[in-house]
């Protein structure tokens, strides 16, 4: 099944060299649905387009619940996902095996062992999911129409993939890093996470979605959404957090977007 899906994905590639040719209709799609693409510096724009070509060629997209995955869907999803690896390259997604796309919310069944040792199953309605086995599941409706300003389902789930590349997700997405880098990340992220938990518990309005208070892994994914969607706001409200994410992603999106309000 995966081999066939991979062949179908490669069939979407345009003819010619991916280093020099990128379909104009794909570029128009990115500019319409991935606003950060409109302000990428020229070198990064070319790198991003090459990554999108490689992503679509290498990663199988599988439609679920009767959904037919179109070229438009592939380009849009790849466009968001490739922002996270602009400085790291496609090797950062080596563990990503497939992208499953549902028309909308989907139901996942969970098994939980109670204190009495009895396994209980329950259903959970989800918009997205990331597996440590390399599977990303997305609701197309939520990809196309985010829940609100600063939300990005694709960025969220692929941030989990980066976090899970080493195994379980824990909000420290490093496979290789120096001890000082890990210590600085832990200090900043722990402090920001605890403050976010307090703000959420008090019901305060926050730049970061309250869902990020549920765990360090979700906090990293939520922070990544805002880093790419509202970089200037994050740099202003959470400067230390922005700096750490900028160091991790090796990108400075707040420097690309001009004055606040110009992007959208």
**Domains observed in the chain:** 170-264 (3.40.390.10)
Its pTM stands at 0.87
pLDDT in tens for each of the 264 residues of the chain? Answer: 334 444 444 455 554 444 558 999 999 999 999 999 999 999 999 999 999 999 999 999 999 999 999 999 999 999 999 999 999 999 999 999 999 999 998 887 766 655 666 656 767 777 889 998 999 999 999 999 988 889 999 999 999 999 999 888 999 998 777 888 889 999 999 999 999 999 999 999 999 999 999 999 999 999 999 999 999 999 999 999 999 999 999 999 999 976 444 444
**What span, in angstroms and rounded, lies between the C-alpha atoms of 199 and 206?**
7
């Amino acid at each position: 099944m995966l081999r066939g899906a991979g062949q179908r994905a490669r069939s979407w590639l345009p003819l010619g060299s991916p280093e020099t040719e990128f379909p104009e209709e794909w570029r128009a799609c990115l500019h319409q649905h991935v606003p950060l693409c409109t302000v990428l510096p020229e070198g990064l724009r070319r790198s991003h387009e090459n990554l999108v070509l490689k992503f679509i060629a290498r990663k199988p997209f599988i439609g679920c619940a009767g959904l037919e995955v179109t070229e438009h869907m592939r380009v849009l999803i790849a466009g968001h996902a490739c922002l996270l690896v602009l400085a790291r390259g496609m090797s950062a997604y080596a563990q990503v095996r497939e992208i499953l796309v549902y028309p909308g919310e989907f139901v996942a069944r969970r098994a939980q062992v109670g204190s009495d040792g009895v396994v209980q199953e329950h259903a959970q309605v989800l918009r997205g999911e990331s597996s440590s086995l390399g599977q990303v599941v997305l609701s197309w409706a939520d990809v196309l129409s985010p829940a609100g300003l600063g939300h990005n389902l694709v960025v969220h789930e692929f941030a989990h993939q980066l976090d899970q590349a080493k195994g379980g997700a824990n909000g420290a997405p490093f496979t290789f890093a120096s001890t000082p880098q890990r210590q600085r990340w832990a200090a900043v992220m722990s402090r920001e996470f605890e403050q976010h938990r307090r703000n959420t518990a008090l019901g305060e309005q926050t730049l970061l979605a309250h869902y990020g208070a549920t765990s360090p892994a979700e906090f990293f994914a939520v922070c990544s959404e805002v880093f790419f969607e509202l970089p200037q706001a994050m740099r202003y409200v959470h400067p230390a957090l922005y700096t750490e994410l900028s160091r991790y992603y090796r990108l400075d999106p707040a420097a690309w977007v001009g004055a606040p309000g110009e992007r959208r």
